[in-house]
Amino acid sequence: MTLPSPDRPLKIGTRGSPLAMAQAYETRDRLAAAFDLPQEAFEIVVIKVTGDLIQDRPLKEIGGKGLFTREIEQDLSAGKIDIAVHSMKDMPTEQPPGLLLDTYLPREDVRDAFVSPTYSAIAELPQGATVGTSSLRRRAQLLHRRPDLNVVEFRGNVQTRLRKLADGVAKATFLAAAGLNRLNMADVPATPIDPADMLPAIAQGAIGIERREGDAATARLLAAIHDTPTGQRLAAERAFLATLDGSCETPIAGLALLDGDTLTLRGEVLRPDGSEAIKGTRTGPIADGAHMGRDLAQELLSKAGPDFFDWH
Ligand SMILES: NCc1[nH]cc(CCC(=O)O)c1CC(=O)O
C-alpha cells in the first residue's frame, strides 16, 4: 500500500479552534505511530466554518445542521483534503452522500465538568445565581434540577468562555472534561460531574475521522487507528439520537457503557425549560447496540408525546 510521505502528505482537514487543532494533532500522531511515519508525512489544513465566523448570535438563530462541518465536508468531497477530524458530539447522524464517518479514536472522559472559580458543584450555587451555557441540553438538565437559576447564553470556544467567567458574566459554566483534558487545561477550576447527575451529550469525548467512500488507501490507514469499543458505544448512542431525530434544538442526552459482552445504554430527553425529564435504559449484547438505541428512543418518544419538544 502507498503510504503518505513528506512529498505526498496526507491532508488532514480541521477547524482552527485550539480544541479542533489538538484533535487533528492527535489523529496525525496516531497515524504516524501506527505506520512509523514522520510528522511531515501529514499536512494539517485549517478550514474556516460558518459556526466559528459568527460569534455574536445564539447558534439556534443561525440555525441549520452542519454549521461546524459543511465547509470541511465540501473540501473533503472535492479532494482538497483526504480526511476530516471532528468532535463526534457535533456530528449529524447522517453524512453527505459519498462520505463515511466510521473511524473513532479511543474515547476521552465522557463527563461534563462544572467550571467555576467560586463553587465546586451545582448544589453550592446560591439561589438565583447566573450560569452560562449555550447548550440546550445542559440548560435543560440544570433547570430541571435547579429551576431557580438564571441561565444565560455563553458562546465561543473554551478560552472565550473562561474569560467570560473571569469577567463575572456568570458564576459558573459547563465544559466537556474531554476538551479540558485534550487542551491540558488542568489549571481550570473544573469538577467532573457523575453521568448519573448530568448525562452527557451523545458521543461526548469521541473524535471521529471522516473519509471519502471509495478511497481505499485512506480506509486502510484509518483502520489501523480505529477504536472498536468506542465504535460500539457510538453505534448505540447515535442510533438513539437518529431515531429521536435530534436537532440542535432538542435537549437529548445519552451514554453507552460496555461491560464484557454487554452494553448498557442510558438515555434522556428533556423539555427545553427543564420542567420535565424522561429517562430510560436498555441492556443487551454489544452487537444489538443500534437496535437498543432505536428501541429506547421509541420508548422515550411515546412517553413524551407530540408536544414535548415545543417551546416557542
Ligand atoms: N459543542 C462544542 C464542543 N464539541 C465538542 C466539545 C468537547 C469535546 C468533546 O466532547 O469531545 C465541545 C465543547 C464543550 O462541550 O465543552
Residues 14 and 152 in one domain: no
First-to-last CA distance in the chain?
55
221 and 101 co-located in one domain: yes
Domain count for the chain:
3
Q: Please name the helix (run of DSSP H) or strand (run of DSSP E) that holds residue 13, with its range, or none.
A: strand 10-14
* Total residues belonging to the chain: 312
Residues 218 and 163 in one domain: no
State the ipTM, two decimals.
0.93
According to the model, what pLDDT value does residue 60 have? 60
Does residue 29 sit within a domain?
Answer: yes
Residues 69, 215, single domain; the answer is: yes
Q: Is the CB–ligand 1 distance for residue 87 below 6 Å?
A: yes
In a domain, 1, yes or no: no
Q: Which of 7, 75, 82, 90 is catalytic?
A: 90
Q: Does one domain contain both 138 and 209?
A: no
Instruction: Give the other-Cβ count within 10 Å of 213's Cβ.
Output: 12
Choose which residue among 62, 89, 105 to substitute to test ligand 1 binding: the one with the highest number of ligand atoms within 8 A of its C-beta. 89
Task: Confirm whether 198 is domain-assigned.
Answer: no
**Helix, strand and coil in the chain, % to nearest 5:** 35, 25, 40
Closest ligand 1 atom number to CA of residue 175: 16
Same domain, 116 and 72: no
Q: Provide the whole-model pTM.
A: 0.93
The answer to whether the beta carbons of residues 265 and 255 sit under 8 Å apart is yes
Tell me, using a 6 A CB cutoff, whether residue 179 lines ligand 1.
Answer: yes
Tell whether 159 and 279 lie within a shared domain: no
pLDDT computed for residue 312 by the predictor: 45
Kindly state if the Cβ of 20 falls inside 6 Å of ligand 1.
no
Q: How far is 290 from 256, CA to CA, in rounded Å?
A: 11
Active site residue 197: no
pLDDT along the chain (312 residues), means of 10: 93 95 98 98 94 66 71 97 96 95 98 96 97 95 98 86 92 96 92 97 98 97 98 98 79 97 97 95 98 97 82 50
Q: Which residue has the cell 439561589?
A: 127
276: domain CATH number?
3.30.160.40
Tell me, yes or no, whether 92 and 124 share the same domain: no
**Is residue 56, in this structure, part of any structural domain at all?**
yes
CATH number for the domain including 181?
Answer: 3.40.190.10
Say whether both 249 and 295 belong to one domain: yes
Residues 17 and 99 in one domain: yes
Q: Is 205 in the pocket of ligand 1 (CB under 6 A)?
A: yes
The residue segments making up the domain with residue 120 are: 112-192
Question: Do 161 and 87 reside in the same domain of the chain?
Answer: no
Cα separation, 130 vs 146, whole angstroms: 11
What is the model's pLDDT at position 255? 98
The pLDDT value recorded for residue 194 is 97
In a domain, 55, yes or no: yes
Residues 128, 89 share a domain: no
Is residue 28 within 8 Å of residue 44, measured between CB atoms?
yes
> How confident is the model at residue 246, as a pLDDT?
64
In a domain, 312, yes or no: no
Please check whether residue 210 lies inside any domain of the structure. yes
Residue 282 in domain: yes
